[in-house]
Amino acid sequence: MSKVLIIGAGGVGNVVARKCARIPEVFSDIMLASRTLEKCEQIASAVGGDRIKTAQVDADNVPELVNLINKFKPDMVINVALPYQDLTIMDACLETKTHYLDTANYEPRDVAKFEYSWQWAYHDRYKEAGIMAVLGCGFDPGVTGVFTAYGAKHYFDEIHTLDIVDCNAGDHGKAFATNFNPEINIREITQNGRYWENGKWVETKPLEIHKPIAYPQIGERESYLLYHEELESLVKNFPSLKKARFWMTFGDQYLTFLNVLQEVGMTSIKPINFKGVDIVPLEFLKAVLPEPSSLGEGYKGMTSIGCQIKGVKDGKERTYYVWNNCEHAAAYRDVEAQAVSFTTGVPAMIGAMMALTGKWSGNGVFNVEEFDPDPFMEKLPEYGLPWHEQVDEPLPVENNG
């Protein structure tokens, strides 16, 4: 029986709130707070029965957050607002001695830079306060870290290469839209790529390296090497890794639109003066694009995200592939969301469940792969994310050069 405060009533917040609401034996009291109260109220009324309390909060403002936490007294805060709010919410949790969980690492607004240093710096203070922060508990980061830890625990003595493969083979019928917050999504894709090889980072130009990779039940899709934040924690927590890469699929139409938007300066995060007002072009673009939470209805196709691992067991080379496929339409039937919000929100709920039921414990700041993967893996299918595995079969990422 625990109280949770969910911050952020967007695509992912909707999934977390609805899923938590169905599990009163763990989440006995739920509050959903966000910048726009109306969005919280819509979700709460869809759930019905006064199950979810709502509040308006500016999560950039620590005293406001502290006030809200002191009033509601949650055991844990689930942060599914934007990465910009990670540190203010972590500060408020520290001040009120409340556990914390998020799905994306902190980013400063004025530089598109993904690294855990800012959040890892809270470790000693969280430890002293006797509270826990679980970082990056969506799908990627999140389940990909748990998948890696599960593979390493059950199938290998040492893991040597890791390829995280993320495919969205869905069609939302819109000319151009992003599946999670457009601003964060476009910042991620337009920055330089990076992968880990032999103890150092190798940098690439944005989307420079790509090749077709075959995905289960989907087939081959052009996949692009990106830098993704879980690579940083995974190479730290699995120092035997010699190579670690992250691949994501993009359709031609998406890339053509993105290219045009970039060429005309609409993806820039440098403010420009427009009619006497400073505006950030990317923030303006976000305001005119569809919201991720609005894409669910009629979205066809599925996502497939997994980890392809090579290493050794009992002196022999071994391969391991573990993945989940998630249908957009099934996610919509369950919680009126598309699969990208669903595959993020369900793991966030399960991570909170792990912490609140004592399956994951510890004082300090942790990435998900530092905990026991087994109880988390056990819950994934139960809440809508079944997973599959293949041992000692050729890895699709190794085809096509």
| Interacting residues with ligand NDP (CB under 6 A) | 8-13, 34-36, 39, 57-60, 80-83, 85, 103-104, 138-142, 180-181, 184, 291-293, 340-341, 344
Give strand pairing partners of 389.
Answer: 322
Q: Are 145 and 107 in contact (CB under 8 A)?
A: no
Closer CB to ligand NDP, residue 59 or residue 311? 59
Closer CB to ligand NDP, residue 131 or residue 186? 186
Find where tokens 């090889």 sit. 197
- Give the closest residue to 307 by CA, choosing from 106, 156, 107, 116: 156
Q: What is the DSSP letter of 370?
A: G
The residue number with the shortest CB distance to ligand NDP is 10
Pairing label, strands 316-327, 388-391: antiparallel
List C-alpha distances in Å: 42 to 3, 69, 167, 340. 21, 22, 30, 20
Instruction: Tell me how far apart the alpha carbons of residues 39 and 116 are, in angstroms, rounded to a whole number.
Output: 30
Closer CB to ligand NDP, residue 131 or residue 340? 340
Closest approach of ligand NDP to the CB of residue 347, in Å? 8
- H/E segment holding residue 165: strand 158-168
- Give the closest residue to 371 by CA, choosing from 49, 44, 79, 153: 153
Closest approach of ligand NDP to the CB of residue 65, in Å? 9
Closest approach of ligand NDP to the CB of residue 9, in Å? 4
Closer CB to ligand NDP, residue 128 or residue 283? 283
Instruction: Tell me how far apart the alpha carbons of residues 309 and 238 are, in angstroms, rounded to a whole number.
Output: 12
Closest approach of ligand NDP to the CB of residue 197, in Å? 24
**What is the Cα gyration radius of the chain?**
20
Find where tokens 């919410």 sit. 89
Closest approach of ligand NDP to the CB of residue 276, in Å? 24
Closer CB to ligand NDP, residue 141 or residue 311? 141
Closer CB to ligand NDP, residue 36 or residue 399? 36
Backbone angle region of 244, left / alpha / beta, with phi > 0 → left and psi within -120 to 50 → alpha: beta
Closest approach of ligand NDP to the CB of residue 317, in Å? 30
Closest approach of ligand NDP to the CB of residue 68, in Å? 11
Closer CB to ligand NDP, residue 109 or residue 242? 109
List C-alpha distances in Å: 215 to 1, 169, 222, 307. 40, 9, 10, 11
